[in-house]
Every structure is written in structure tokens, then in C-alpha cells.
Structure 1
Amino acid sequence: MAISVTDYLGIDKSKFNSTGALDSILDFDTKMYIDIALLKQCSISEFKDAYKKVTQRFENILLLLEHSTRQDDKFWRAAKQQLHFNEQPGVCLGLSKYGTRGRGFGEKLENQLLSDAKIIISAGIKDTRIFELMPLFEENIGPDRLSDMVVSIIYEELVAYSKNIFSKFLFTSDFDPKTQLPINPYNKFPIIFVPKSILQDIPLAWSWEDIDRVQHENEEIKRSFNETIGYTWKKATSSRVRKSDLRYYILNYPGFLIDLLSKYETKTPLEYDFTKDRSGQIIWYESAKKIADDYPLKLHWSQNISSEDIYNTVKTICLHFKDLVENNKLYSLLYNDNGSAKHESAAQLIFYGIADAYCKTNDIDLSREANAGRGPVDFKFSKGYDFRILVEVKKTSNNDLVHGIEIQVGEYEKSEKTKRSIYLVIDGDWNGAEKNKKALNKFIERMEKDNITISEIVYVDAREKEAASTYKKARK
């Protein structure tokens, strides 16, 4: 069940917002991360030494690696111990798909990071900021894992900050005996607040295109770099490069890394604008509650409920969502103020918030991103153990539009032991949408020709009818 800290504890929202902390959702992670560059400029009293603590940990690792002569000697083991950290699920941040559990590095990844750091040190570069850049070039290292490590390092500061905020409010709750903070009922860990001023939705405070402006050490390297990497982002709309390519240049050409570090140092980190919420990670919660109140949905079934009843109920919720998007301006929450589209996760979160509100009033269990089969389905509706309906939400701009229904949903149905699912396709004037829709229609025709049953598809027309700013009710 989607519920924020303030709603769970009955805390006044306007007063809480003045604290500057993120009002976390308790039952799953908000996809944001602690940006070390933002932490460096944080002026909140509890965090005055936080950045220094983080860099001191990195300095210790570099110093130990400098003295290490072979993998797994005493200095190497000590460096690995410094790199190891315990997960702290209380902050409810990151990419965890199944609740609020973070991820550590693991021994294999720790050795990989230390090996690469050792190569860099051997080239004469002893700069702690290489750890801040690791999400750029290390496979299986994303901003969430680096953020989890930062959380473990500054955990005491986060606890002190959270205590200070909670002290401003009156509420009733079970408390964690060690931290004396309220307990999250979903994961049984203490609730930890994080200042919004140190959070970001992307791993670094500068864009990939900045790499293209790095001054390479000679013309041969510059030409090779542009042929290998520059072409990748110039030919595509995503402007993404492969980590393996970037890693090659960082480990083999010290001059390139030095210039990259210099560019990183001079780039001013920008705080995330939570009012505009470009990633749609925050606005969905309050908006969905408001919409569900404004447009209530009454669902009815007999006492002897069947799987068909559950399926029809879930379909009714999907069709109601479709009506809200198409006829009640809900589409506006899928766009930024400048007309650009928010990420697909914004659409998924809005659907989740609205569906969750209706499920609460009708005694239906709704879980987000169920741990099933080859990967996470977006939503699982259930009534007891036997009745389960799966719903996957995808925008037509997603190049995996056909894959989602062809492979993923089929796997989910097997693993969740259900025979029914709905594919909620949100359509708009987005890059790649027409191509992906044609591919989906061809797949549907092929399945119909072969008499193969697939998920029921519900199309939602999310094209802008008016300026996104006109939808005021859901934003208040």
C-alpha cells in the first residue's frame, strides 16, 4: 500500500515541507540518490562534516591500495573492508524493485573496483573523486549503489537529522530501540529522512555530452575516442555511451581521466527541482490521492467472488484510468511544463497511486513490481492466494513494447500461476512511438492468426489536448 511518512504518522504536511526533508513512501524506494557533489555544498548543521567523512573513506582506500603489491594481501583486504558496507533500508531511496532493500557491492564487484582503482593509482592519479565517477564507467555500479555506500558512511548524521525533524511533531508510533526513531511498518527498520537538497534523479551533476568536451591528451587519442564513443551519442537520441568504452579510455589514458576529473570539479551541481519533478517521482502520490477523491470508483461483486470477478474489477480500474487520462486531463502529469514527456516510470507511478487508492476501498491487494520470473511485472492485483491478475504499464516510446507482451508477461503468468493479465499501453506523440505501435500490431495479428491467447491490451491516448499547466486540481 502506497503511504508516505506524513500520512502514516498523521504529521501536518505543510509544516513538514518546511523542514526540507523528503516525505518518503514507506513501502518502496523513491528512485533518487544522494549526490556527493550536492552533499559537498550542503549547509545543514548535521551534515557539516558529512562530505569530509565520505572523502576520508575514499582516501583510506587509495592509501591502502597504494601499499598493496598483490590482490588479497593485507593491504588489499583492508581496502576491501573499507569498501564494504552494510545496507540501510530505512532511507527508502534507490532502484530496489522489491521493496526498500538496498544492495551492497559483493566480493566480485569489490575486487573489480579495487583492481581498477589500483590501475589508476599506478598511473599517478590519487584523486578520491574517481569513486564519484564510478557510476559512469563501472559495470554494475549505478548511482543507487554508490548512494547506498554514502548512506552507510553518514548514517549517524542522517539519524541525527531525522531525530531533529521528528522532534518537531507529535505522533504515535513504535520506536526502534537503537536509534529511537519510528519504525517503518513495511520493512521494520527505523524511518530515516534525507534532505531534498542533496538528492538527484541522475548519477552525476553533469551530462554525458560534457565528456565530448574533455581535452584529450593528443590528437590520436581524440580521434580514436570520437570514433569509438563520440559517434555513439551523435547518431542516437539517447546520447548514451557504453560503460566498457569509457572504462577503456579511463584506465588506459591517464590524461583523459585527469581532464575528466577537472571537468567534473568545475561543473556546478544543480539541485533537483521537486516542484517541477521532471522524473515524476514525487508528484504522483498527492495527485493520485486527489484524483481518486475527485473521481471515486465504486466496485461491486458477489459474496462468492471468482477469478473472473477480480479480473473484471482490475479491468474496470484500467479503463477508469484510461478515462481519467483521456477525458479528465490526467495526461498532463505525464509531461513537464515545457511539453517534454516525463519518463515511463512517471506513468507507472501515477497508475499505481490511483489504482492503489481504489484497491484500498475495495479490499484488493496491490503490489508494485512483483518479484516474478525473469523480471518485475509492474503490478499484481490479488484477492487471497488464488486470485491474481497482472498488469504491465508501458509507453509506446519504449522499444521493448513488443517484448513486454511477448516474453515478460508470459513469464510472469507462469511464475505467478495466473492466466490473466492486462497490458496497459500509454500512447503519445513520442519518439519511436509509431514504429513501436506498428511492431506491436503486427505481433497481435500474428498471434490472432495462430490462435494464441495474449494479454488483453488497453490503449490509453495520452496525447496533449491542452497545456500541461491547465490541470490544476491534481497539483493543488
Structure 2
Amino acid sequence: MLAISNGEGDAAWKGARRQLDLSEPPENGLGYGGTGRSGNSRPELIRETILRTSKEVITLGASDPEMISLMGFFEEDVGPDTISDMTTTVIMDDLAQITEAFCQAHGVPVFSFDVCPTHKLPKYVNARGKQVPIVLVPTDIVRDLPIANDWSDIERAAMENARIRERVNRLLGGIAEPTVAERKAALRTAALGSASDFDFFLAAVKGNVSNYDPNLDALGYYRLKEILTNGLPDLKQAAAYNLKLGAHEIFRVVIDTIELFRRHVEAGNLWEELWVNGKPKKERASQLIYYAIADCFCKANDVDISPEANMGGGPIDFKFSSGYQARVLVEMKRSGGTVVHGYEKQLEFYKTASQTDFAVFVIIDYGDGGNKFNEIRKVREGRLARGERASEIVVIDAIPKLSASKRK
């Protein structure tokens, strides 16, 4: 909206203003409130300030949405809690979906509320007897909320750029001992001098983050974004899928998505995205990257299937379905994790809950699996010997590979 706005107050500007909701969502109980849970609405001035600064950045030619997270460095009255509340509002429907799934899995009563009409939520009764909804927030997306931005590290990194340093020094030339506010104002002016200046400043911020380092990308988020944006070159398959054939055809789609993922890990360089500092990344990294590939694969082949990540009450599992009856599950584990329990017990529980006999158990092998692979193969062979349908097992070799020039 801001990108197409020609001036403050026009239709596009008003549209952006409506989308920029800075009210504090009381349903999740996050924030600095000392008493009670009621959310507060921030002054309109702060919202207008964020809109103006964002428009200024866009006008420079920069379009990275990370600009929003920089408002705490540019504007005095914008802190991390403001950005957190804005983000919570944007993803409220997703949080409500996770909350509803968690409550249903654990027998917690849920009810309809206006805050999110598409999902039911648990509730509590406040001191005035009013029923108030509760929205749960997964701990892995919550960060410690700092009292103030770590301005000194950002300033130091940005000042390493000669062009920005020269402009800041010129702006502060007549001030003997500039305050933090004055230094921040000078750096703001220098950073917004051009699109390249802003891009450098943004890179300096990303290079000094302490909560999530995009250079390490321990959970694979940036790789996930790249795949979803650009796809992969070999997604389109020659033979079309006929979903009317039921679960067996969906199973073929699932196997093809896993084989595509395996090929890029074992024969390409995707294995690099599964390691950080010589150690395997968290389990979710491989799950998210596979999810991205599977999602793009389905779109590229015009397959009416939506892989769904169930994050409600445990590890992510992927459910491919067409209609109500035809369902195939994919469960993914690291070789150093609970592989035997995952195959023998956990996946069976998921299959029962989803009312399906079709499932694939994928193991990302980092070289620390020990005898686990043999154990689960014995479990599978035993089930087949008894005439039962046993879940498929796929092992993907993610052990670091030599570069292509050094392979024989």
C-alpha cells in the first residue's frame, strides 16, 4: 500500500494505516503489563511515524520487509514490544489454529470468540466475570524482550562503512558530546541517504542479531523462504498424477517429493543447509525445507494436495490428503533422535488419529544413528510377516560431502 501511495492521506495510505494494527493483543498475555492482561492501543502518532519512515525507505528503492524491525533504531518511541504486538496481530489466525489443535489434542474445552471467528479458543473468567479468550504462543517463536535495543553494536557495525561514517561525523561535527538520541538521529539520516546506504545498514543489523542469526539459519527459515520464492529447477514431473485412484496415487506423489528432497541433499548441496558449525541443525530445519519442496512440487504438478505441518501438540508431521478418505502421512526424524520410538509408537498413533494405513518414516542420517536403523527395519519386517501394513522407511544421507571437484 505504501509503495503505491502518492501522499499521506490518499486511499493507499489509509489502506496501509488500517493494516498497521499496533494494539497489544491481550489474548496471549505477552508484554510488559505489571497488572492485568488488557491490551493497550499505542498513540496514533507512533503509527504515523512508522508509516512515514517505511515510506521513506521504500522511496529510496529498498523493499526488504525487515525494515519494520529497524523502527526501534530509527524512532525513539518504537520498541521491540511494538514490533512483537504488530507481528502477533498479523499471525493471529495461525496462533489460533495452533491453539485450537493443541486444546483438541489434550481435551481442553474451546469456544467461539470474535477475535478469530475461524477457530475456537480456550477461555478464562476475569475478575469482572467476563469470559476472555486465550491464545497460546509456541515457545520456539518467543524471544526474550530486551529493555532497550542494543544500539552500541549496531552503531559500531554501521560506522565501519566509510560513507556512512563520514556522513554521521559531518552531522555531529558541531556537537562536543552527542547524546544517544543525537547519534541515533544522525545515523538515521545517514542510513536513509540512498538505497545502498540503507541496504548496508540493514546488513549491519542482521550481522549483529543475537536471537536468530540468518548467517547460521539454524532452523532453515531463510532457506525455506528462498525455496518458496524461487522453487527448484526439477519440480515438474513428466507423468501426471490421477488422484481419483486414491491413497495409492497420493502415496506415489509423497514418495516423489521425498525422492526429490533426497536427491538435492545427497547429490546436491542441500546437505549444507542441515548443518551449522559442524553440528546437525535442529530437527525442524530439515522438516521445514522438505515442506517447502513438497509444497512447490504439488503446485508445479497441478496436484490438489496441501502438505500440512501439524505443530499443535508435538513434532511436525505432514499430512497429504485428497478428499476425506485418502491420506498419507510423513514423519521426519534426525538419526540422533528418538528414531525407534518414533517409528514403532509415534507414527502409529498419528496413523490411528488420521484414520490411514499409509505413512512414510523419513530419517535424516547425520552419521549418529548407531543400530537404530536395523531395529526399526526389524519392526517393519515383523509387521509385514504378520500380514500387517507397515510404514515405509526412507533414510536420507545428510553426512557432509566433498565438493564436486573432489569427488571421484
Q: Structure 2 length normalisation: TM-score?
A: 0.51
The one-letter amino acid paired with 1:418 is T
The answer to whether 1:403 aligns with 2:341 is yes
Higher RCO, Cα 8 Å, sep 6+ = 1
The answer to whether 1:319 aligns with 2:255 is no
The answer to whether 1:353 aligns with 2:292 is yes
CA distance in 2 between partners of 1:144 and 1:437 (Å): 32
The one-letter amino acid paired with 2:346 is Q
Find 1:389's aligned residue among 328, 335, 338.
Answer: 328
CA distance in 2 between partners of 1:107 and 1:303 (Å): 44
CA distance in 2 between partners of 1:270 and 1:289 (Å): 26
SS at match of 1:397: coil
SS at match of 2:73: coil
Match of 1:457 in 2: 393
The Cα shift of 1:322 comes to 1.5
The Cα shift of 1:107 comes to 6.3
Is the 8 Å Cα contact of residues 369 and 376 (structure 1) preserved in structure 2? no
What is the CA deviation profile of residues 172-228 of structure 1, one whole-angstrom value per residue up to 9, with x for unaligned ones?
xxxxxxxxxxxxxxxxxxxxxxx99999xxxxxxxxxxxxxxxxxxxxxxxxxxxxx
SS at match of 2:218: coil
Match of 1:275 in 2: 215
Match of 2:73 in 1: 43
Match of 1:422 in 2: 360
The Cα shift of 1:391 comes to 0.7
CA distance in 1 between partners of 2:373 and 2:68 (Å): 41
* Cα separation, partners in 2 of 1:464 and 1:384, compared to 1, 3 Å: same
The answer to whether 1:307 aligns with 2:247 is yes
CA distance in 1 between partners of 2:386 and 2:319 (Å): 28
Find 1:344's aligned residue among 283, 295, 317.
Answer: 283
The one-letter amino acid paired with 2:219 is S
The one-letter amino acid paired with 1:318 is I
CA distance in 1 between partners of 2:295 and 2:254 (Å): 11
SS at match of 1:285: helix
CA distance in 1 between partners of 2:290 and 2:392 (Å): 17
Find 2:62's aligned residue among 15, 31, 53.
Answer: 15
The one-letter amino acid paired with 2:216 is K
SS at match of 1:293: coil
SS at match of 2:356: coil
Is the 8 Å Cα contact of residues 344 and 376 (structure 2) preserved in structure 1? no
CA distance in 1 between partners of 2:245 and 2:326 (Å): 9
Is the 8 Å Cα contact of residues 42 and 197 (structure 1) preserved in structure 2? no
The one-letter amino acid paired with 2:357 is K
Rg larger in structure: 2
Is the 8 Å Cα contact of residues 314 and 381 (structure 1) preserved in structure 2? yes
CA distance in 2 between partners of 1:46 and 1:385 (Å): 53
CA distance in 1 between partners of 2:327 and 2:203 (Å): 37
1:107-186 equivalences in 2 (<5 Å): 142=139, 144=141
Is the 8 Å Cα contact of residues 330 and 360 (structure 2) preserved in structure 1? yes
* Cα separation, partners in 2 of 1:442 and 1:301, compared to 1, 3 Å: closer
What is the CA deviation profile of residues 394-435 of structure 1, one whole-angstrom value per residue up to 9, with x for unaligned ones?
11111x2112222222122222222211111111224xx214
* Cα separation, partners in 2 of 1:20 and 1:339, compared to 1, 3 Å: farther
CA distance in 2 between partners of 1:302 and 1:437 (Å): 33
CA distance in 2 between partners of 1:460 and 1:466 (Å): 17
Is the 8 Å Cα contact of residues 231 and 296 (structure 2) preserved in structure 1? no
The Cα shift of 1:351 comes to 0.3
CA distance in 2 between partners of 1:407 and 1:329 (Å): 33
Aligned length: 263
CA distance in 1 between partners of 2:289 and 2:380 (Å): 27
Q: State the identity as a percent.
A: 25
The one-letter amino acid paired with 1:427 is D
* Cα separation, partners in 2 of 1:102 and 1:312, compared to 1, 3 Å: closer
CA distance in 1 between partners of 2:101 and 2:78 (Å): 25
The answer to whether 1:365 aligns with 2:305 is yes
CA distance in 1 between partners of 2:342 and 2:219 (Å): 22
